[in-house]
Amino acid sequence: MRAPGAEDGLEVRDVVVRYRASRARDRAARDTVAVDGVSLHVAPGEIVALLGPSGCGKSSLLRAVAGLEPLAAGEVRFDGQDLAGVPVHRRRFGLMFQDGQLFPHRDVTRNVAYGLEASGTAGSERGARVAELLDAVGLAGYGSRAVTTLSGGERQRVALARALAPRPRLLLLDEPLSALDRGLRERLASELREVLTATGTTAVFVTHDHDEAFVVADRVAVMDRGRLLQVAPPEELWRAPASRRVAEFLGFQAFVPAAALPPGVLPDAGRPSRADLSPETVVAVGPAGLRLLPDIGEPLRAVEQGPLWQASVVGTAFRRGRAEVTVDVDLGSGPVRVVAVEEPALYDGVAADPAGRRRRPAVGEKVTIVLDPSGCALLPALR
């Protein structure tokens, strides 16, 4: 065995994937470039999420790595070996689709065993491996069930067990949880990470849901229009998005010139000190970067150093136990529509009505909102 080195794992270099225009008439409109010169390294045992809006080319990149789409340019290497010319079935990768794609004519056991049969694993060893994997995905005892009788979540677990059974060198997951309902999706996302880390599986995981990406992956690669915008661990991505586009995709809702804010409120992200900020530096306001102040006549001490704005209420909603108020406000870069979150801690000592309810601001009412620096990030420059 070779010693592990920088060449190990998956190496994607300048890969281009192109779809040919289907009809001669469209040919003039040029072929569609789905993946436009992407380079990415995935170390052994690492889980990387490809995150991006639908149609950004992330699935095409995954299919190109699997060998299901031809490369128009660039190369895909694994453990130093160029995979050009290695057909799909000889790559020893695993693949899992959004809707599982279980074989309808085989029961659970025979679905999981499919890859083992292909590699010629002996029967007894096969049975043991199938049982081991069904156990790992929490479906012990389901072996003889017909796949048509399984629920959506169970199907995806079987699909995961089937993909892992032949011990793939690399597991590719194409939106594996997107077809499930929210609660199940969140639960399965953490289970997925447990199973992948427990088996030491190297994996590339495609999703359009950032929460899912952050739960499952060691590093997240943000992709847009065929290009990689940023590759970073989740915390770093959140703390310091590389560009306005990345920040927008992560859900940052407003962008305020740093110069418009008073000193001392800027998020401390190991970024240059205020003196070093260029005039173009921008503060990105995160989804929880604005707080709603209770209407008690005077600013509270806890946030009194932050800048305050008067905003006009457009609507309110109650999500995850907190009121979220949509307001129109000018943060210093023109009027924008943003969401401010009610902070329960700020309401200590504020009178509630006899039933314990607080009054919700009505549409059209004026409210005060304040910036919460911990929910914001600094962008190096306006892009």
> In the complex, which residues of this chain contact another protein (CB under 8 A)?
20, 22-24, 66-68, 70, 87-95, 97, 101, 103-105, 114-115, 117-119, 162-163, 166, 172
Q: How far is the CB of 239 from another protein (least distance, A)?
A: 36
Q: How far is the CB of 172 from another protein (least distance, A)?
A: 8
Q: How far is the CB of 182 from another protein (least distance, A)?
A: 24
Q: How far is the CB of 91 from another protein (least distance, A)?
A: 7
For residue 356, give both structure tokens.
């314990």
Residue 340 to residue 290: CA distance in whole angstroms: 5
Nearest to another protein of 169, 337 (CB atom): 169
Nearest to another protein of 71, 367 (CB atom): 71
Helix (H, G, I), strand (E, B) or coil at 183: helix
Residue with tokens 């992948």: 196
Q: How far is the CB of 101 from another protein (least distance, A)?
A: 5
Nearest to another protein of 59, 316 (CB atom): 59
Nearest to another protein of 26, 82 (CB atom): 26
**Max CA-CA distance within the chain?**
77
From the number of C-beta atoms within 10 Å of its C-beta (0-12, 13-18, 19+), residue 10 rates as buried
One-letter amino acid identity for 215? V
Which of 346-364 are b and which e, b meaning 16 or more Cβ less than 10 Å from the residue's Cβ? Answer: bbeeeeeeeeeeeeebeee
Strand duo 47-51 + 219-224: pairing: parallel
Q: How far is the CB of 123 from another protein (least distance, A)?
A: 16
Q: Which parts of the chain are beta strand (E)?
A: 10-19, 32-42, 47-51, 73-78, 81-82, 93-96, 170-174, 203-207, 219-224, 227-232, 254-257, 282-285, 290-293, 308-319, 322-330, 335-342, 366-371, 376-379
Nearest to another protein of 164, 217 (CB atom): 164
Nearest to another protein of 117, 194 (CB atom): 117
